[in-house]
């Protein structure tokens, strides 16, 4: 039986993973979550986990009470989440949202576990550090983002030297058809509606702005070590083709599947084998057509920012992600508008590029965390100014 830990078990990715693990063949080691301790406790009992951890110390007591007498150990706090990731396990699935997932990712690979990575922020903030740590520990990293899982699957048996380009698809999000001038007034509720995928609130809004795709381009660059100019984004409203790989002989291998994250999660959980999964089978005749279009940079400025991040390298990924997280908080709190998010991130990147205190030569965890903190502060300052200016 594979011993598996789930980080972010109570989230959208986490619940899909709990569903798959609950079908058998796995021993649950540690489960982590946030404020929804009622659900976390339920999952821990359901899966017979050894340990349940909430990242919030103030939630410890409630979690302890709910699990009293069940034999499940309980802990709380960010360090406890990282320790949970380091518990002896064959596979650790990281479904935490945001940069908070980085330290648990590092802890998991350091402990030698296979890391099934949904937390793309780990690679965006510290790709070189994470991949080097995994290499040193002899740990495998598996992508769980659907596009990256698709690329990973298309590459089975292939030489990287034969890869000419990687194409990842994007639905275009909630505002694909909206007139550009309306975007500035879009609300968080409107942005949090996805045409095809059912996901957490933050990634759904990031899909509308394409910050999610921007993160994914950087994620692909870091994970597959592909140069930026060989990574393309295509708008594909049906979300059926998840990615394509183009080879030096002109052939393209596409990965198709229903928009259900249990596919990519299940692939990683069972890797290197394929197992039967409870996902809908495609009916291409019923679907009838698959459409593709190039993304409009005026609608999706985040994609251009991703190019700047990759050109700069070093800590700019951490800066980009932290500024994006802060701007997204501001948008959700209605302090700034939808189109302000990209402006704020761009401004923060500009100011951080000229920061002399930023050690861009060596990527250590401390440097990454420092860049993250500085970028969040600058983003909050910039948002303050924006909301003052617009009253």
The binding site for Mg ion (CB under 5 A) comprises: 145-147
Q: Which of 118, 233, 382, 383 binds ligand NAD (CB under 6 A)?
A: 118
Residue 217 C-beta: closest distance to ligand NAD, Å: 13
Residue 178 C-beta: closest distance to ligand NAD, Å: 22
> In degrees, to the nearest 5, what angle opens at C-alpha 351 toward C-alphas 346 and 352?
95
Tell me the residue nearest to ligand NAD as measured from the CB: 11
Which range, of 82-90, 94-102, 131-139, 239-247, touches ligand NAD by CB under 6 A?
94-102
Distance of CA 240 to CAs 86, 288, 336, Å?
A: 35, 12, 33
Per-residue exposure over 171-210, b if at least 16 CB sit within 10 Å of its own CB, e if not: bbbbbbebeeeebeebebeebbebbbbebbebbbbbbbbb
Q: d(Cα 56, Cα 209) in Å, to the nearest integer?
A: 29
Q: Which does 295 bind (CB under 5 to 8 A by kind): Mg ion, ligand NAD, none?
A: none
Which residue, 326 or 358, has its beta carbon nearer to ligand NAD? Answer: 326
Residues in the chain: 391
Which range, of 23-31, 91-99, 180-188, 300-308, touches ligand NAD by CB under 6 A?
91-99
Q: d(Cα 259, Cα 149) in Å, to the nearest integer?
A: 13
Query: Residue 174 interacts with ligand NAD (CB under 6 A)?
Result: no
Contact (CB, 8 A) for 371 and 319: yes
Q: d(Cα 337, Cα 375) in Å, to the nearest integer?
A: 19
Query: Residue 172 interacts with ligand NAD (CB under 6 A)?
Result: no
Residue 124 C-beta: closest distance to ligand NAD, Å: 9
Which range, of 5-13, 108-116, 227-235, 287-295, touches ligand NAD by CB under 6 A?
5-13
Where residue 239 falls (left for φ over 0; alpha for ψ -120 to 50; beta otherwise) is: left
**In the stretch 183-212, what mask flags binding to ligand NAD with x, by CB under 6 A?**
--------------x-xx-xx---------
288 CB contacts (<8 Å, ≥6 apart)?
none
Query: Residue 12 interacts with ligand NAD (CB under 6 A)?
Result: yes
Which range, of 3-11, 18-26, 135-143, 278-286, touches ligand NAD by CB under 6 A?
3-11
Q: Which of 5, 47, 87, 95 binds ligand NAD (CB under 6 A)?
A: 95
Q: d(Cα 352, Cα 361) in Å, to the nearest integer?
A: 14
Q: Which does 14 bind (CB under 5 to 8 A by kind): Mg ion, ligand NAD, none?
A: ligand NAD
Residue 52 C-beta: closest distance to ligand NAD, Å: 12
Q: Which of 14, 172, 246, 337 binds ligand NAD (CB under 6 A)?
A: 14
**In the stretch 60-89, what mask flags binding to ligand NAD with x, by CB under 6 A?**
---------------------x--------
Which range, of 6-14, 153-161, 180-188, 228-236, touches ligand NAD by CB under 6 A?
6-14
Residue 157 has which token pair?
């048996």
Q: Which residues are near ligand NAD by CB under 6 A?
A: 8-14, 33-34, 55, 81, 95-97, 100, 118-121, 145, 197, 199-200, 202-203, 261
């Amino acid at each position: 039986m594979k011993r598996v830990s789930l980080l972010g078990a109570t989230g959208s990715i986490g619940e899909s993973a709990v569903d798959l693990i609950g079908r058998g063949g796995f021993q649950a080691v540690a489960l982590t979550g946030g404020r929804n301790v009622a659900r976390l406790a339920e999952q821990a009992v359901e899966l017979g986990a050894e340990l349940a951890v909430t990242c919030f110390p103030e939630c410890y007591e409630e979690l302890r009470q709910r699990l009293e007498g069940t034999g499940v150990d309980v802990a709380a706090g960010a360090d406890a989440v990282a320790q949970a990731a380091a518990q002896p396990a064959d596979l650790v699935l990281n479904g935490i949202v945001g940069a908070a997932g980085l330290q648990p990712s590092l802890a998991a690979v350091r402990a030698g576990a296979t890391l099934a990575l949904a937390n793309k922020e780990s690679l965006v903030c510290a790709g070189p550090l994470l991949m080097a740590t995994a290499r040193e520990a002899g740990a495998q990293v598996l992508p769980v983002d659907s596009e990256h899982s698709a690329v990973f699957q298309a590459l089975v048996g292939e030489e990287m030297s034969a890869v000419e380009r990687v194409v990842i698809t994007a639905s275009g999000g909630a505002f694909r058809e909206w007139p550009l001038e309306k975007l500035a007034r879009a609300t968080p509720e409107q942005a949090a509606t996805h045409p095809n995928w059912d996901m957490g609130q933050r990634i759904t809004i990031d899909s509308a702005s394409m910050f999610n795709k921007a993160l994914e381009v950087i994620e692909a660059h870091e994970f597959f070590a592909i140069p930026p100019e060989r990574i393309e984004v295509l708008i594909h409203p049906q979300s059926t083709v998840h990615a394509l790989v183009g080879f030096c002989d002109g052939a393209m291998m596409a990965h198709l599947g229903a928009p259900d994250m249990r596919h990519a999660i299940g692939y990683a959980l069972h890797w290197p084998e394929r197992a039967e999964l409870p996902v809908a089978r495609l009916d291409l005749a019923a679907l009838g057509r698959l459409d593709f279009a190039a993304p409009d940079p005026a609608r999706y400025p985040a994609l251009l920012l991703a190019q700047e991040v990759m050109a700069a390298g070093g800590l700019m990924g951490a800066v980009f992600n932290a500024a994006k997280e802060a701007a997204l908080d501001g948008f959700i709190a209605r302090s700034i508008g939808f189109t302000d998010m990209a402006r704020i991130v761009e401004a923060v990147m500009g100011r951080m590029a000229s920061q002399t205190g930023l050690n861009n030569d060596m990527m250590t965890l401390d440097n990454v965390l420092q860049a993250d903190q500085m970028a969040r502060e600058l983003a909050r300052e910039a948002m303050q100014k924006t909301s003052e200016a617009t009253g």
